[in-house]
A and B are shown apart, each in its own frame.
Chain A
Amino acid sequence: MRDRVLILCGLGLFLAVVTWPAWRTLASAPAPPPELARPVGSTRCVAPVEFMRASHMTLLVQWRDRVVRDGVRTYVDRDGREVRMSLTGTCIGACHTDKTKFCDRCHDYAKVTPTCWNCHVVPPAGPPAGGVR
């Protein structure tokens, strides 16, 4: 074990390099949460904000299955409003009209790339179509 010092130094260096990103993240200030554009003309989402923030994909997948598999296109939300179950028609089309300032900002922050947009076409950003009907 004549090389003990050398080996320990090498191991230490290796650990430092490998764990460097973790240390850096711990040391730096947390990234500011993304600033999301609030919908114009609509103040109340179909579900509580906390639920939507954490589980909007659950709702979207349920909507997808209801529309595609069961042919049911209307959703009755917590307020009894009837909503058309449509990502591009209702979520984007009626409320969050600018995808880049809502969906994308949070997805970029969380470093996720949903595949929804490989197929679904983002409607051109414009004035909201009167909020959730």
Chain B
Amino acid sequence: MNPGRRVFLRMAGSAAVATAAGAALGCVASEARRRRLGMAIDVQKCVADNGCRACIDACHRAHNVPAIPDVRHEVKWIWKEPFERAFAVEDRDTVTASLRGQPVPVFCNHCDNPPCVRVCPTQATWARDDGVVTIDEHRCIGCRYCVAACPYGSRSFNWVDPRPFVPAPLSAYPTRTRGVVEKCNLCEERLAVGQLPACVEACPERAMVFGDLRDPASNVRRVLAEQYSLRRKPELGTRPQLYYVI
């Protein structure tokens, strides 16, 4: 091997190592900077105010969600589901026995491994860097693959023009049109201006705690460290980021 070739190989080798190290460092750094938004919902506090619709009303008002009486065409971002329908716990389970039949708020879980995102043929729905699974309504073609893929039923399709069912739409947020899918966007438009999600703000029991799941000092992490929580259908591997404190 002549010296020129040896020098070249050594330089190429060290360049490759330096590139790999740089990429790894950059990856670690950006991972540390990134937020992972999520929520803890205290089910006990929520059922204490049985019949309350504060979170639903606040969300649906803020996002011009239509109130369509025909259940086949219903559109909903957040709603309440009996505990045993939200969570597949065994009938003999004693820990959750008192919660059976109690309504718990359910909405998009903003999964870490969202099946809706994987199936969208137009990339109209995607997970942002901070974990919010959102929809670009301009790009939705209404194929409803995502509706079928979501194991939580969090997505609604606009079978009819929703505008007549929004009596006084707010201009701050658009309505949707016939033929697109919609769901909870974790109030990304409110987060952008430093506000909390509308449901979190509206809850009279302060049952919903929102925050950065990557920040060990955040309120949501503190709640989750202190109390036992469930996630919906964890066996599916979608890694939901809504935690229900029971």
Contacts and interface: CB of A to CB of B under 8 A. Distances in A.
Give the interface centre of B136, B171, B172, B192 by most chain A CB atoms within 10 Å.
B171
B169 A121 contact: yes
Interface in A101-133: 115, 118-124
A73 B137 contact: no
Given A88-B171, A119-B174, A68 B192 contact: no
Contacts of A69: 136
A67 B169 CA distance: 21
Nearest to A84: B193
Nearest to A89: B172
A122 B171 contact: yes
Contact of A121 (B137, B171, B192): B171
Contacts of B192: 71, 73
B138 interface: yes
A121 B174 contact: yes
A118 B175 CA distance: 8
Contacts of A121: 64, 169-171, 173-175
A66 interface: no
A67 B163 CA distance: 23
Contact of B174 (A71, A93, A120, A124): A120
Interface string A62-96: 00100011010100000000000000110001000
Contact of B176 (A71, A89, A119): A119
B128 interface: yes
B177 interface: yes
B171 A93 contact: yes
A93 B128 CA distance: 28
A124 B182 CA distance: 25
B37 to A, nearest CB: 13
Given A64-B138, A69-B136, A119 B175 contact: yes
A69 B127 CA distance: 10
Contacts of B177: 115, 118-119
A31 to B, nearest CB: 31
Contacts of A88: 171-172, 174
A69 B192 CA distance: 13
Nearest to A69: B136
A115 to B, nearest CB: 8
Nearest to A118: B177
The 3 closest A-B pairs by CB, nearest first: A123-B171, A119-B174, A121-B171
29 contacts: A64-B138, A68-B136, A68-B138, A69-B136, A71-B128, A71-B188, A73-B192, A88-B171, A88-B172, A88-B174, A89-B172, A93-B171, A115-B177, A118-B163, A118-B177, A119-B137, A119-B174, A119-B175, A119-B176, A120-B171, A120-B174, A121-B64, A121-B169, A121-B173, A121-B174, A121-B175, A122-B171, A123-B171, A124-B171
Interface of B: 64, 128, 136-138, 163, 169-177, 188, 192
